[in-house]
Every structure is written in structure tokens, then in C-alpha cells.
Amino acid sequence: MKCWVHPKEDAVAVCKSCGKGVCQNCAISISGDLYCKSCVESGRIVIRPPTAPIEAEPMPSPKGVPIRALFIIGGVGSVLTTIATIPLTLVFFATFLVMPQTTFQYYRPFFGGEASIPVMVSVLVFAFIAIIFSAIGYLGSYKNYGSGSGAAGFAFGIVVPVMLMVYAVGIVAFLTSEYWYYYYYHYNEIARAFLIIAFIVTCILFGIMLILWGVTHIGTRRFTGHSGLSTATGIMLIISGALMLSTVLSFVALGLLFIAEILATILFFISDIPKVAAKS
């Protein structure tokens, strides 16, 4: 076959539009196809931009068979945590008042003396149970969706309750320090220092836990079937966690946590569970 423009030249290809032979000098490559100059210059060739690849919808990566029971336990834990935030706010605020050297004796009665020990310890024990139950819900996010932050949130959800018990020991030591003061002169200051250190460490771990919980909700929002609620819950938890890390605003953080845990309760109970195809 000869080139239809240059009859003495051998054709190297056929125009994809008109089917005429074209030589090396006449062939024009467009998007991997060859055309003649006539078709290109006449505007008969429509060049379409390459289509962008369609991103695959993210899919959860369950660790084994998904289990709704973990979310149900987490929902119950969120209910308990919502209740616990109210008295826990008072305990945290009381601790904050006695932190300065110049005010701890003045605000000491705010704790209520030794008679308040059972009440304060009971509050922390209740919070201990509530947080562990809530943490199981984030274990569910790892188990059902493959969320790494959910696994980390569960781990911190075990560490924080343990630290709350250390904090409870600090409260008991502080409220009984007047009695032991007669046996050891510096016991008062040691008990106060122990309470403050326990309080600060508790706030830091608590804050990290809340941030991890928030990141988990945001990271799994496409899997729950309730993206908006997941995002709102995550943002509230992250803000609460950031305030908790500051220590001085820990009681404000607990106020926001009250709202966040209400949202988390709803979310845990209504979140979708991935369907795993049965193996033949």
C-alpha cells in the first residue's frame, strides 16, 4: 500500500479515521492511534482527555468474624461513662483546687474530709468499670473494621482505669494525711505531691485515650453507615482529649465528654456490621 498523499512512498499505517494509507511523514500519532494530516486538520478527530481512574470504595478489614456484641458492650459502657462524667468532674475540680501550695489547705475541706473517701473512691471505681466497657466497643472497631487506632484505644482504655485506681489511692492518702501527720511530719506534703502526680498522669493518659477514640470514629466513618454521626463523635472526643491533656481544663473536658459519650452510645448501637461471605 502506498501513501495517498505521496504515491511514491510506502504506507506505514492506515488512518484510523478515513482508512487511507499514510507514510512516515504523513502519519500523526494521537493518544496511541495514527491519523492522516487531512483528518487532523479538518477537525474530524476529537481528542478526549484520559478518564481519571475511579477510586475503589474503602472496605473494612475485619479481624475474623465480625461481632456486634462488642459494640453493644461499648454502647453500655458509653452510657455508664456519660453518667460517670458528672461526679468525676467534681472530683477532678476538687483536685485542681488543692494543687497550688498556697491554697491546698484552704480548699482541703472541699474534699469533705475522711467521710467523703467512700464516695470519691466509689466514683472512681464506677468510672473504672465504665471506661473498660467503653474500651471494649473500640476493640469492636478493630475486630469489625480493622481499625488500628481502635486497638490502641482499647489498650489505653485498660491503662486509664488502672491509673484511676492509683489516683484513688492518692485521694485516700491525701484525705487521711492529717492523721498520719502526727506520726510523720512531712506526710502531708508527700500525700499532696502523690495526689497531684497521680492526677496529672491520669489526665495525660485519659486525654490520649479520648483522642484515640475520636480518631477511631473518624477513621471508620465510612463503615458505620452513619458518617456524619461518626465524624461529630470523633471531633467531640478529640477536643475533649486535647482539653484533658492540658490538665487545668480537665473538668471542662469532662463536660464535653458527657455530650460525646451520648453520641458514642447511639453510634455503637446503630453501627453497621460488615457481612462476611460464608466459605463453601
Lowest mean pLDDT among 95-99, 216-220, 235-239: 95-99
Residue 277 has pLDDT above 70, yes or no: no
Contact predicate 98/107, CB 8 Å: yes
Residue 182 has what pLDDT?
46
- Choice between 186 and 191, residue whose per-residue pLDDT is larger: 191
Work out the percent of the chain whose per-residue pLDDT is above 70: 81
- Choice between 17 and 250, residue whose per-residue pLDDT is larger: 250
Work out the percent of the chain whose per-residue pLDDT is above 90: 45
Residue 65 has what pLDDT?
87
pLDDT tens for each residue of 114-170: 556 777 788 889 999 999 999 999 999 999 999 999 999 999 999 999 999 998 888
Tell me how far apart the alpha carbons of residues 217 and 210 are, in angstroms, rounded to a whole number: 11
Tell me how far apart the alpha carbons of residues 221 and 262 are, in angstroms, rounded to a whole number: 17
- Choice between 241 and 43, residue whose per-residue pLDDT is larger: 241
Residue 98 has what pLDDT?
62
**Which pLDDT band holds residue 280 (cuts at 50, 70, 90)?**
very low
Domain ranges of the chain: 1-44, 68-270
Residue 201 has what pLDDT?
94
pLDDT tens for each residue of 206-215: 999 999 999 9
Residue 71 has what pLDDT?
95
**Which pLDDT band holds residue 90 (cuts at 50, 70, 90)?**
confident
pLDDT tens for each residue of 44-81: 766 666 566 656 567 778 888 889 999 999 999 999 99
Overall average pLDDT of the 183-211 stretch:
82
- Choice between 25 and 207, residue whose per-residue pLDDT is larger: 207
pTM reported for the whole predicted model:
0.74
Contact predicate 27/13, CB 8 Å: yes
